[in-house]
Chains A and B, each alone.
Chain A
Amino acid sequence: MSEVALLQIIGLCVVGTGVLILLFIKGMFLRVIGFVAMVLGSFSLIALGVPQVASLPPAIEKFDLAKVKSPDDLASIGQKIFFSKGQCALCHSIGPSHSARCPDLNGIGAKLSQEFLYESLTQPQAYIYLDFRHATKPEEYPARMPHINKDPIGLTKPEIFSVIAFLQKMSGEPISIKVEDVMESQEEQTEAVEVALNTNSVSTSFVLAESDVAP
């Protein structure tokens, strides 16, 4: 018996019980309970009568850098990171958007160099000038952009390179990131993890657990 059929039978039983209570029981409080049961059972039956669609989660994507053969492969990984782990699309749009809270990134790969993009992602405050508008000591404008290589987003170096590759490709620019650079940065990352493993097992296990989508 399917789940829907089983629930329909339960619903019918609940409604039936409610009707029986209303027909044969004199106690007013019990009659109210019967009435409520009838209403709730009917609601369930109606809801079971509409199309039943469950929302199933998509498969979790694993980014395997070993399979990266070309800069285009890298850009497609970067695109996925842009819309998922990197959380870039929470604020930035690609093309004009009413809902974007931060600058439109359309064509950004053509406007900015690879180094500048990397710096903007990892040191967002680097080129933000001081605010001299007030009589008090000049202060830094707070950057809305977070450090993308730190918690809570915490992209790894290869992941950041992948995002830059995506931004360049999306802007119609040749991808300046080389696959070898990414592999090198991946090795650096692995070494760092190994060092951490030797020094602090707890924190490393956390890093590894968190890096579901990491290469």
Chain B
Amino acid sequence: MKSASHIKQSNVQSFLEKMPTIFKWVSFLSVLLLPVIAMAAGAETKAMSVEYRDVPGIGSRNLVWIVAQQHLLLAGFVLGVPIFGWVCEIVGWKTKEARYDKLAKEFTKLLTSAYATTALFGGILLFLLIGLYPKLMAYLTDMFFPSFLVYCLLFLAETATLYMYWYGWDYMQGNKKAFHLFLGFLLNLFAIGIMIVPNSWATFQASPVVVGDGDAWARAWMAMQNPTWWPVNIHRLIANVVLGGFIVGAYAGIRYLLAVSREEREHYDWMGYVGNFIGVFGMLPLPFAGYWLMREVYQYNQQMGITLMGGFLAWLFILQAMLIGVLFLGANYYFWMGITYRIPGSENSYKKPIMAMLVVLLLCLGVWMTPHTLVASLAEAQKMGGTHHPLLGVFGVMSAKMTVANIMILVTFMSFIMYWRAGKQETAGWAKAAKAIMNGLLAIAAVAVIVLGVWGYFVPAIIRINYFSVAQVLIVGFIMVTFTPLTALLLKSAKTTTEMVWGKMPIRAGYCLVLNAVMVILLMSLMGYARSSSRVHWHIYGVMRDTSDYAFSPALGYAAAFMSLNTFVYCLLVAFIFWVATLGDKAKAQQTKAVDVPGGAPVMAGGAPSTAENMKSGILENHK
């Protein structure tokens, strides 16, 4: 035996001597890696049986909640901003007004800085999910793996396009502008793709479909086409625009509050107006998209719909009404302040309509916030004759809430129209007739919405849901679609009686913009909790049960505290990102003051348009 082993040893030695050095190193490393491989094999066996891992202290569910919320909110901003940034660029290109191009560039600057942080949180979320929920992730990976690849490709395409779009902004002017706009289009196309692919994973969890036979691609495609996928896609697309608009508005609001020069105040006042306008513009169709989503949820699984609207989440919708109400009030208040402070002299002529609108909004909000059932003691319930209050009970049902939501949308739309028309005198011969028709249509629409709402109490629910509610939405939509072009036509030939004055808004306007943004963030957090909790104790509704310690859905108070924490963290995160993004501007502003040489420092991509222009003009002045 000894000799045999000796022979073997010498053979090994000679073999080793003949081996090239690189192979020796590879063999050495392989030997070193053996324990690791063995451990990995052991881990694989163990991993197959591990369903959950926990994080001490905070708990796995809470940690995922925070990270997922931050990622989703950042992603909402990153996917929403390119939409209106691109539209703004088109407006600038068509009207040849440089300020729109500058604004679009400023939007994109914020987007670029937020993009990396979004991806970072996405990565952290993925690692946490793989580590903390291995069983669920294995199931979803098995179901959706081909779509993961598509997602990666879309992400690569989005990143490359964003680089070209942002860094090529100054270069692609003049003849090259059309190509730049095409890049903007691609950016949005990929961004929408990036949004809808993961939406399919999340909506599959809420409304899974049975996946038949087929290859991996066919199975993934079948799973993606689940009933709530497109309602959520549309809802999120609009909500992202709203979020982006109000966040940009809040950014402008804070910059306005911090502004030291008149130019800055004017610029950020205007930017705040645009942000608020975009937010309101998106907010008007958002309740309709939400209604469609809820309708699909009910159609998919009535129990899930009842859990949301009438079960343990019912009070959540009262909180939602409160947040939406404050948002509507905030957005309208900002418009009204605009009329008062930007258009001197109009405050008196619009005082009465503003007061009437405020009263209508508050009444509508009161109805929207009325709960269906009240928390009452037995004695109180006996006095009321049941849990439904005899007077308020009628406002707690969906028919009343749909009606007031539509009225609030109408009022907000009219606030915008009023702001648009303020300080202008129509000169067209048909202006009087057009205004009379518009007033008549508005009155008919309001009456029709109310009549349908009241009639809704006396018909079966299915008739109300399928016809009456849809008709209410169509009526309001008709008003918006007809009034906007008609007003634009009226104002085309109108003469300006009072020039718009920017930078004169009071301090509370800045706070109002911040409040609107906080309301939208809270709303998104609240509805995210609703969507997730509607699955109750299922990871995948009816398919994979949550057997972890966190299978319960927390009560509203605890959840709201978490939402507030998430909102605060998000606000700080965004403030930090924007602060970093504007450091370059500050440096350049200082340079402009200090540098007194022709040609100075070159304008870098990312500089605020106003600052860049100030810098150029400063240099030119120095030349003179």
Chain A residues with CB under 8 Å of chain B are 3-4, 7, 10-11, 14, 28-29, 32, 35-37, 39-41, 43-44, 46-58, 60, 83-84, 87, 89-91, 98-99, 101, 124, 142-147, 152-153, 201-202, 205-206, 209, 212
Judge whether A7 and B558 touch: CB under 8 Å: yes
Known: A47-B557, A47-B560, A51-B375. A99 touches B537 (CB 8 A): no
What is the CA–CA distance of A142 and B210 in the complex, to the nearest angstrom? 14
Judge whether A152 and B211 touch: CB under 8 Å: yes
Q: Mark B274-303, 1 if CB is under 8 A from A, else 0.
A: 000000000000000000000000011110
Judge whether A39 and B211 touch: CB under 8 Å: no
Chain B nearest CB, measured from A176 CB (Å)? 26
**Top 10 A-B pairs ranked by shortest CB distance?**
A47-B560, A57-B537, A48-B557, A52-B555, A40-B564, A55-B553, A57-B551, A53-B312, A50-B315, A54-B555
Which residue of the partner chain B has the closest CB to A10?
A: B561
Which residue of the partner chain A has the closest CB to B143?
A: A152
Judge whether B212 and A144 touch: CB under 8 Å: yes
Judge whether A28 and B556 touch: CB under 8 Å: no
Question: CB-CB < 8 A to B511: which residues of A?
Answer: 32, 35
Q: Mark B370-383, 1 if CB is under 8 A from A, else 0.
A: 00000100000000
Chain B nearest CB, measured from A158 CB (Å)? 20
Known: A50-B556, A205-B48, A205-B49. A152 touches B142 (CB 8 A): yes
Judge whether B209 and A99 touch: CB under 8 Å: no
Which residue of the partner chain A has the closest CB to B318?
A: A50
25 contacts between A and B (CB under 8 A): A10-B561, A29-B254, A29-B258, A32-B514, A35-B515, A39-B515, A40-B518, A40-B567, A43-B560, A46-B322, A46-B560, A48-B556, A48-B561, A52-B556, A55-B533, A55-B553, A57-B537, A57-B552, A99-B301, A101-B209, A142-B213, A145-B210, A145-B212, A201-B45, A202-B45
What is the CA–CA distance of A101 and B542 in the complex, to the nearest angstrom? 16
Question: CB-CB < 8 A to A146: which residues of B?
Answer: 210-213
What is the CA–CA distance of A11 and B209 in the complex, to the nearest angstrom? 42
- Name the prevailing secondary structure of the B interface residues: helix
Question: CB-CB < 8 A to A14: which residues of B?
Answer: 564
Set B142, B254, B537: member contacting A55, Cβ < 8 A: B537
Judge whether A35 and B514 touch: CB under 8 Å: yes
What is the CA–CA distance of A61 and B466 in the complex, to the nearest angstrom? 38
Chain B nearest CB, measured from A10 CB (Å)? 7
B546 at the interface (CB under 8 A from A): yes
Question: CB-CB < 8 A to A147: which residues of B?
Answer: 213
Judge whether A41 and B212 touch: CB under 8 Å: no
Judge whether B542 and A87 touch: CB under 8 Å: yes
Judge whether A46 and B319 touch: CB under 8 Å: yes
Which residue of the partner chain B has the closest CB to A51?
A: B375
B543 at the interface (CB under 8 A from A): yes
Set A58, A60, A89, A202: member contacting B48, Cβ < 8 A: A202
Judge whether A91 and B561 touch: CB under 8 Å: no
Chain B nearest CB, measured from A93 CB (Å)? 11
What is the CA–CA distance of A212 and B135 in the complex, to the nearest angstrom? 13
Q: Mark B128-144, 1 if CB is under 8 A from A, else 0.
A: 00000000000100110
Judge whether A209 and B514 touch: CB under 8 Å: no
Question: CB-CB < 8 A to B533: which residues of A?
Answer: 55
Judge whether A55 and B564 touch: CB under 8 Å: no
Which residue of the partner chain B has the closest CB to A209?
A: B49
Question: CB-CB < 8 A to A209: which residues of B?
Answer: 48-49, 51
Question: CB-CB < 8 A to A43: which residues of B?
Answer: 319, 323, 522, 560, 563-564
Judge whether B48 and A48 touch: CB under 8 Å: no
B559 at the interface (CB under 8 A from A): yes
Judge whether A47 and B556 touch: CB under 8 Å: yes
Chain A nearest CB, measured from B441 CB (Å)? 35
What is the CA–CA distance of A10 and B254 in the complex, to the nearest angstrom? 27
Set A7, A101, A124: member contacting B557, Cβ < 8 A: A7
Chain B nearest CB, measured from A5 CB (Å)? 10
Which residue of the partner chain B has the closest CB to A84?
A: B542
Chain A nearest CB, measured from B275 CB (Å)? 15
What is the CA–CA distance of A37 and B572 in the complex, to the nearest angstrom? 11
Chain B nearest CB, measured from A138 CB (Å)? 19
Which residue of the partner chain B has the closest CB to A89?
A: B542
Which residue of the partner chain B has the closest CB to A101?
A: B209
Judge whether A54 and B564 touch: CB under 8 Å: no
Question: CB-CB < 8 A to A91: which residues of B?
Answer: 209-210
Judge whether A4 and B208 touch: CB under 8 Å: no
Set B51, B300, B307, B559: member contacting A47, Cβ < 8 A: B559
Set B139, B510, B557, B563: member contacting A152, Cβ < 8 A: B139
Which residue of the partner chain A has the closest CB to B544?
A: A152
Question: CB-CB < 8 A to A84: which residues of B?
Answer: 542
What is the CA–CA distance of A190 and B209 in the complex, to the nearest angstrom? 30
Question: CB-CB < 8 A to A47: which residues of B?
Answer: 319, 556-557, 559-561
17 more contacts with CB within 8 A, not counting A32-B514, A57-B536, are: A28-B257, A29-B575, A32-B254, A36-B514, A40-B568, A44-B560, A46-B322, A47-B559, A52-B558, A53-B556, A55-B537, A57-B551, A89-B542, A90-B542, A144-B210, A146-B212, A202-B44
Q: Mark B312-327, 1 if CB is under 8 A from A, else 0.
A: 1001001100110000
Question: CB-CB < 8 A to A83: which residues of B?
Answer: 542
Chain A nearest CB, measured from B42 CB (Å)? 11
What is the CA–CA distance of A83 and B553 in the complex, to the nearest angstrom? 21
Question: CB-CB < 8 A to B254: which residues of A?
Answer: 28-29, 32
